[in-house]
Structure 1
Amino acid sequence: MSDSTASVSSAASAAAVAPATSGTGIVIAESATARGRRARIALRALQVVLALFYGLASALPKLIAHPSAVEPFEKIGWGSAGMYSIGVLELLGAVALLIPVLSSVAAVSLSALMVGAFITQVVVFDGQYAATPLILIVPLSLIAWARRGHNAELLRLIRRRS
């Protein structure tokens, strides 16, 4: 490769990586790696926020038998056994959201719990808070889709153990 070809090539790659700004200082374009890095960070932050929500705001009241959790489960007819079971499943899902190889499966599992919560809200509680589980399914679906590559890795780990 000649020196002029190398300098044109390196100038083109530098232009592709460096963000271009207009006279106002607004970034017009950015590199795919910078966008990808930001997307990965945002997705990880979303996983942490959802894990905290499921672990602290959802599972904990059920596991400590807080009155706000006991009453709905009594109305459903599941009692304390159902309440503790759902609390444990939510806590396990919260922890699994933070483990990369389990995050996709955890998001799908928590989404399934939210479908059940939606149905329960509509049937037992006349849809009073039916939107909440549906709203939570949206970011869980995003995590499940974005982390779907981990499913093959998880299957390899399971097969290796068998």
Structure 2
Amino acid sequence: MTVTQILAAPAAHTAGTAGPVRGRRRALRRALWGAQILIAAFLLFASALPKFAGQADAVETFTRIGWGQWFRYVTGTVEAAGAIGLVVPRLAGFAATALIGLLGGAVLTHLLVLDAAWALFPAALAAVCALVGWDRRAETRDLLRSVAGLPRR
């Protein structure tokens, strides 16, 4: 069974079945939680906080980008919000999906303005966020429905 098949199997269908599918899904979910925690720690402590503190590297990077230092604060705020959202179960899927956009922008910035070799790191983080977003799609759908005032399915 592939990762896509395991992720595509709704939790309600696997909850009543014993055997390898349920065990693989549980193991995959734990692995994703571990990845989410690591990504959240990186985004908060190694990426957002240096931007807020005005670390010399962060200031110089955003000077090279050319959008001004205000963009450093916006980027840090989105990273911090995404990091917090990744570790809140109800928000994890939405945060992961939103972070794909941020990380896609980082990939493009590295390719077009900064060092192209560093584009691989945000691309890898975006791929993990895509897996998390896919796995948590039901929770994200329920969250968006509740925000819109629609009944849950």
Q: Which runs of 5+ in 2 are unaligned?
A: 1-16
Question: Higher mean Cα deviation, 102-111 or 83-92?
Answer: 102-111
Give how far 1:126 is off.
4.9
5 Å-filtered alignment, 1:47-58, equals 47-58=36-47
Indicate which of 63, 68, 76 corresponds to 2:52. 63
* Residue in structure 2 matched with residue 37 of structure 1 by the alignment: 26
* Residue in structure 1 matched with residue 11 of structure 2 by the alignment: none
State the SS of the aligned residue for 2:114: coil
Q: Larger C-alpha radius of gyration, 1 or 2?
A: 1
Coordinate RMSD, CA, aligned:
1.9
Tell me, yes or no, if structure 1 residue 157 matches structure 2 residue 124: no
TM-score (norm 1): 0.75
Partner Cα separation in structure 2 for residue 82 and residue 152 of structure 1: 30
| TM-superposition CA deviations, 1:128-149 (whole Å, max 9, x none) | 4121221111111110111111
Partner Cα separation in structure 2 for residue 141 and residue 94 of structure 1: 15
* Residue type at the aligned position of 1:121: H
5 Å-filtered alignment, 1:73-112, equals 73-112=62-101
Q: Which runs of 5+ in 1 are unaligned?
A: 1-15, 18-29
Give how far 1:32 is off.
3.3
TM-score (norm 2): 0.79
Partner Cα separation in structure 1 for residue 147 and residue 115 of structure 2: 42
Partner Cα separation in structure 2 for residue 105 and residue 84 of structure 1: 21
CA contact (8 A) 1:51 1:98 kept: yes
Give how far 1:69 is off.
0.7
Indicate which of 137, 141, 157 corresponds to 2:130. 141
CA contact (8 A) 1:107 1:143 kept: yes
The size of the alignment, in residue pairs, is 134
* Residue type at the aligned position of 2:131: L
| TM-superposition CA deviations, 1:83-103 (whole Å, max 9, x none) | 011000000000011112211
Partner Cα separation in structure 2 for residue 86 and residue 53 of structure 1: 14
Partner Cα separation in structure 2 for residue 49 and residue 122 of structure 1: 24
Partner Cα separation in structure 2 for residue 106 and residue 97 of structure 1: 6
State the SS of the aligned residue for 2:149: helix
Identity %: 37
- Relative contact order: is structure 1 or structure 2 higher (C-alpha 8 Å, sep ≥ 6)? 2
Partner Cα separation in structure 2 for residue 37 and residue 55 of structure 1: 27
